[in-house]
């Protein structure tokens, strides 16, 4: 079996605390249905609004009571236009329950899925998308990358106008080539553990991967998508998550078509600053010797190009 891997270099997104991300997610979830109407033509037939009464928590020791857990979603229909292309798509915003091998609920996982009908009789690809951190919800990729709509901000001068930034049609959306499912890990966005589990149970790499695997399997089952080409798309910490998740899914019998790594950081010790930050000591550099040494020729070439070495290079163009 061949799995396609794509590596992208771009802004790393937000790797800070998920507090702001969750507040942003709460505000966006309550406003998106009305705001999105101005971003594209809405097709009201079959719309299913839903107001979730649950207040979700990101606190480490919190979890939902089983009576609060429900697999419900708001379903809305829109049109995406780019050039001469028009695509009718469905936005599904809600929760699915990730359960352990015995069927016990472990986390109520929030997601936003953008799906469109197939035009060639074959199942459309489905791509599962998530940010990094760890500790970040998927709102950054959802509202700033490849969803059918995006937030229009005067970046980098973000300012203080939120939540008044409009949702606009996203000409860079991937909805014309793949369905998109944006996932919030437990303790981020609107996802929360289910008691007796608490959010912090899923804040280790193995537990994180396992709960993400369980969500993907649940989504594929509920939506009858197991026969679709399946892709994983991770950003920043989402890139090592993707590598581990790919193995976990393949081991569970979910066969992937490809993975996409954006702002890849597969080795957090590959950067001297990160190595010191992670270990909170300069001893972290001892774990980083080989990688840092490998950067030396590149740093030297950059320094030569910008005349930061003495003597100056004879032919500066050689270092361009």
Confirm if 292 and 285 have CB atoms less than 8 A apart: yes
Cβ neighbours of residue 231 under 8 Å, at least 6 residues apart?
125, 126, 127, 128, 178, 256, 257, 258, 259, 260
Tell me the H-state helices in 187-227: 205-222
Q: Where does residue 162 rank: exposed (0-12), middle (13-18), buried (19+ CB within 10 A)?
A: middle
Counting residues of the chain whose pLDDT is more than 90, the rounded percentage is: 55
| Phi, psi angles (nearest 5°) of residue 256 | -90, 150
Q: Where does residue 109 rank: exposed (0-12), middle (13-18), buried (19+ CB within 10 A)?
A: buried
**Angle subtended at Cα 134 by Cα 96 and Cα 243, rounded to the nearest 5 degrees:** 80
Counting residues of the chain whose pLDDT is more than 70, the rounded percentage is: 73
Query: Would you place residue 267 in the very low, low, confident or very high pLDDT band (cuts 50, 70, 90)?
Result: confident
Q: What is the DSSP letter of 49?
A: -
Confirm if 93 and 73 have CB atoms less than 8 A apart: yes
Query: Would you place residue 230 in the very low, low, confident or very high pLDDT band (cuts 50, 70, 90)?
Result: very high
Which 3-state string (H, E, C) describes 68-109? HCCCCEEEEEEEEEECCEEEEEEEEEEEEEEECCCCCEEEEE
d(CA 173, CA 175): 5
d(CA 175, CA 300): 43
Query: Between these two residues, 316 and 25, which has the higher pLDDT value?
Result: 316
Domains, in order of start, for the chain: 4-266 (3.40.50.1820), 275-319 (no CATH)
pLDDT tens string 123-182: 999 999 999 888 889 988 988 889 999 988 776 666 666 667 888 999 999 999 999 999
Query: Would you place residue 30 in the very low, low, confident or very high pLDDT band (cuts 50, 70, 90)?
Result: very low
Strands 105-115 and 179-183: antiparallel
pLDDT at 309: 85
d(CA 220, CA 213): 11
pLDDT at 39: 56
What number is the average pLDDT over the span 70-89? 94
């Amino acid at each position: 079996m061949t799995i396609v891997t794509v590596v992208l270099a771009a802004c790393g997104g937000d790797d800070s605390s998920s507090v702001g991300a969750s507040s942003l997610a709460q505000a966006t979830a309550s406003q998106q249905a009305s705001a999105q109407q101005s971003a594209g033509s809405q097709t009201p037939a079959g719309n299913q609004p839903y107001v979730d009464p649950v207040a979700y928590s990101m606190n480490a020791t919190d979890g939902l009571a089983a009576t609060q857990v429900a697999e419900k979603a708001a379903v809305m229909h829109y049109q995406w236009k780019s050039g001469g292309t028009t695509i009718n798509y469905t936005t599904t915003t809600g929760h699915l329950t990730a359960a352990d091998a015995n069927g016990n609920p472990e986390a109520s996982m929030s997601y936003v899925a953008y799906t469109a009908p197939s035009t060639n009789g074959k199942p459309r690809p489905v791509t599962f998308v998530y940010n990094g951190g760890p500790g970040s919800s998927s709102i950054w990729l959802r509202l700033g990358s490849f969803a059918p709509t995006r937030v229009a901000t005067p970046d980098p001068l973000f300012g203080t106008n939120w939540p008044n930034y409009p949702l606009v049609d996203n000409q860079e959306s991937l909805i014309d080539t793949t369905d998109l499912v944006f996932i919030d890990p437990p303790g981020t966005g609107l996802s929360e553990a289910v008691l007796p589990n608490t959010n912090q149970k899923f804040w280790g790499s193995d537990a994180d991967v396992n709960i993400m695997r369980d969500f993907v399997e649940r989504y594929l089952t509920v939506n009858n998508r197991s026969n679709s080409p399946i892709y994983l798309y991770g950003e920043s910490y989402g890139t090592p998550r993707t590598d581990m998740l790919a193995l976990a899914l393949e081991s569970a019998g979910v066969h992937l078509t490809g993975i996409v790594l954006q702002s890849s950081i597969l080795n957090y010790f590959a950067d001297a600053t990160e190595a010191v930050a992670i270990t909170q000591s300069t001893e972290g550099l001892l774990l980083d010797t080989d990688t840092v040494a490998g950067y030396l020729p590149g740093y030297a070439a950059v320094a030569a190009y910008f005349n930061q070495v003495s003597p100056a290079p004879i032919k500066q163009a050689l270092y361009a």
